[in-house]
């Protein structure tokens, strides 16, 4: 008799796809366009729905990343869906590009030609990072451009959104550089440099940016930004300290995961400082929601 592996059930297949797309990490994409939306000018309901575009493009980009890395992953991370044989390369490519395309279409439906154009540029930059730029000296900067463009996706006023977009981009450059060492490790100067960068981001975030015209909201917003910036520091600094002391691949990987999750309190701080306290609280609430999904899926975020 020939042993045959039973086909995966629908639930098992869905879990593998969620692993390919790094489902828990998609929570970090939700707040970016909201940061842009609340950075200046009136906010409409369609802008508040643009996080759907961000999640679709982000998830598709994560899958496309694994498709592009499938040969490297066969050696370094054979447990991932494609090298483990749980998904074929063709399946992963179709799922990923389908999600990215859907994200661009959703942006067009929500925000017309402007939304379509911004999402198309974001999608093209994501694809360029995954397939061309990632392993070049420009890789971290292209990834930062992806994050900054994601912030600008939701902006009513591009001029007002540039500063918070660059703040998110600065965090992203540092974390992306760190992620290059999450397999083989590094010397201590790399996590030490990232520690300086995130410290600077935390210091400037509560005291810069647009102020609310209402004194009470201004005070509440700045206080909320300070609290969120502190939370950002508690997420970023301890694992970086451990990575400095012991810069192995495992320590670096833990620091990368935590620093990716720290985007959520950073987004909350950037929104809160404008006086939009309730939206900031909503974004901050994504952090415990993300933790629940990680527990349920046992999913990775890097």
pLDDT at 301: 59
Res 291: pLDDT: 87
Q: How far, in Å, CA of 54 to CA of 119, rounded?
A: 8
pLDDT attached to residue 2: 37
Output the pLDDT for position 87.
94
Structure tokens at 38: 């609340």
Give this prediction's pTM.
0.91
pLDDT of residue 143: 97
pLDDT digits over 142-172, tens only?
Answer: 999 999 999 999 999 899 999 999 999 999 9
Give the pLDDT confidence score for residue 4 in this predicted structure. Answer: 41
pLDDT value of residue 5? 44
The whole-chain average pLDDT of the chain stands at 92
Angstrom distance (rounded) from CA 284 to CA 265: 6
Residues of the chain short of pLDDT 50, as ranges, are: 1-6
The residue ranges of every structural domain in the chain are 15-297
């Amino acid at each position: 008799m020939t042993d045959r592996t039973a086909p995966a059930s629908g639930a098992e297949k869905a879990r593998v796809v969620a692993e390919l797309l790094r489902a828990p990490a998609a929570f970090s994409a939700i707040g970016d366009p909201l940061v842009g939306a609340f950075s200046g000018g009136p906010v409409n309901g369609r802008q508040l729905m643009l996080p759907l575009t961000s999640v679709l493009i982000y998830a598709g980009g994560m899958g496309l990343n694994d498709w592009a890395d499938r040969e490297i992953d066969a050696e370094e991370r054979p447990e991932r869906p494609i090298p483990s044989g749980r998904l074929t390369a063709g399946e992963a490519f179709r799922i990923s590009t389908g999600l990215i395309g859907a994200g661009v279409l959703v942006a067009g439906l929500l925000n017309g030609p402007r939304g379509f154009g911004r999402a198309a540029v974001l999608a093209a930059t994501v694809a360029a990072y995954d397939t061309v730029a990632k392993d070049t000296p420009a890789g971290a900067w292209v990834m930062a451009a992806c994050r900054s463009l994601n912030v600008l996706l939701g902006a009513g006023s591009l001029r007002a959104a540039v500063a918070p977009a660059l703040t998110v981009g600065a965090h992203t450059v540092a974390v992306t550089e760190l992620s290059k060492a999450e397999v083989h490790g590094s010397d201590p100067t790399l996590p030490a440099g990232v520690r300086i960068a995130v410290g600077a981001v935390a210091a400037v975030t509560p005291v810069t940016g647009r102020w609310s015209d209402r004194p009470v909201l201004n005070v509440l917003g700045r206080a909320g930004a300070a609290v969120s910036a502190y939370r950002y520091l508690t997420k970023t600094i301890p694992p970086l300290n451990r990575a400095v002391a012991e810069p192995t691949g495992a320590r670096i990987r833990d620091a990368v995961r935590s620093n990716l999750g720290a985007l959520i309190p950073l987004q909350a701080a950037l929104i809160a400082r404008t006086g939009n306290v309730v939206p900031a609280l909503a974004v901050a609430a994504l952090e415990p929601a993300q933790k629940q999904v990680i527990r349920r899926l046992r999913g990775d975020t890097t």
